[in-house]
Structure 1
Amino acid sequence: MREILRTNDMVLVSAVGALLDGANIKHVLLDGNMSVLEGSAGAIPRRMLVSDDDDAAARQLLTEAGLGHELRDAR
Structure 2
Amino acid sequence: MKELLRTNDPTVIAFVTALLTGEDIACFTMDVHMSIFEGSIGVLPRRMMVRRADLFQARAILRDNNVEFEG
Question: 1:25-74 CA distances to partner (integer Å, 9 max, x unpaired)?
Answer: 00110000112x1233232110001010000000001100111xx2222x
Q: Which runs of 5+ in 1 are unaligned?
A: none
Is 2:46 the partner of 1:49? Answer: no
Count of aligned pairs between the two proteins: 70
Q: Which runs of 5+ in 2 are unaligned?
A: none
Is 2:27 the partner of 1:19? Answer: no
Distance 2:53 2:11 in 1: 26
Amino acid at match of 1:49: M
- Counterparts of residues 34-45 of structure 1 (less than 5 Å): 34-35=34-35, 37=36, 38-45=38-45
Distance 1:53 1:17 in 2: 17
TM-score, normalised by the number of residues in structure 2: 0.90
Amino acid at match of 1:28: F
Q: Hey, which bits of structure 1, 4+ residues long, moved more than 2 A?
A: none
TM-score, normalised by the number of residues in structure 1: 0.86
| Structure 1 vs Structure 2 CA RMSD | 1.0
SS of the counterpart of 2:41? coil
Counterpart residue number, 1:72: 70
